[in-house]
């Protein structure tokens, strides 16, 4: 099955929030997705019209930042996350000069995906995130879009 990537709609939010609760220990609230629909760029990936993944990014003064990206647990490991990320990078590269993101140092799947598509680690923010056992480092990653398109 080939997924479709389109703009996120309000009607997607209950399912997207449910996926978010499933896949991350520190989920966004549904209200954060709702606010992002007004403030940021939001994408939904669907399979047969059902949301299975989503991404939120922002572009300010030529700098893009990924704020959220996820694929529903039952749909992970099928290349959908990579497809969503590459789609988003294509959109961002048309409007921005570089991309930044922050990722939890223990998030091995996301780190591997980001490295695979060409993001590189530029710095470590110690104890940046709270987790159940205290604090956790953030890895800041970047990609330069010069010559990308």
Ligand X SMILES: CC(C)(COP(=O)(O)OP(=O)(O)OC[C@H]1O[C@@H](n2cnc3c(N)ncnc32)[C@H](O)[C@@H]1OP(=O)(O)O)[C@@H](O)C(=O)NCCC(=O)NCCS
Residue with Cβ nearer ligand X (62 or 79):
79
Reply yes or no on whether 102 is catalytic: yes
Element (H, E) at 54: strand 50-60
Element (H, E) at 66: strand 63-71
Binding site for ligand X (CB under 6 A): 23-24, 69-71, 76-82, 103, 107-110, 112-113, 116
Residue with Cβ nearer ligand X (132 or 147):
132
- Residue nearest ligand X (C-beta atom): 81
Q: Are strands 134-144 and 4-7 parallel, antiparallel or unpaired?
A: unpaired
Residue with Cβ nearer ligand X (57 or 80):
80
Burial call 133-147: b when 16+ CB within 10 Å, e when fewer: eeebebbebbbebee
In the block, residue with structure tokens 């590189």: 120
Reply yes or no on whether 114 is catalytic: yes
Least distance in Å: CB of 51 to ligand X?
13
Mind telling me the catalytic residues?
102, 114
């Amino acid at each position: 099955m080939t997924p479709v990537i389109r703009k996120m709609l309000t009607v997607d939010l209950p399912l997207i929030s449910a996926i978010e609760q499933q896949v991350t220990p520190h989920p966004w609230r549904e209200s954060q997705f709702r606010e992002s629909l007004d403030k940021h760029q939001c994408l939904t990936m669907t399979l047969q019209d059902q949301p299975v993944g989503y991404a939120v990014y922002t572009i300010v003064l030529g700098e893009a930042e990924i704020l959220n990206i996820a694929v529903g647990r039952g749909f992970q490991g099928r290349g959908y996350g990579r497809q969503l990320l590459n789609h988003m990078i294509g959109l961002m590269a048309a409007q921005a000069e570089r991309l930044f993101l922050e990722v939890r140092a223990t998030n091995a799947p996301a780190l591997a995906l980001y490295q695979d598509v060409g993001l590189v680690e530029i710095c470590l923010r110690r104890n940046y995130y709270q987790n159940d056992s205290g604090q956790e480092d953030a890895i800041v990653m970047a990609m330069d879009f010069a010559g990308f398109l």
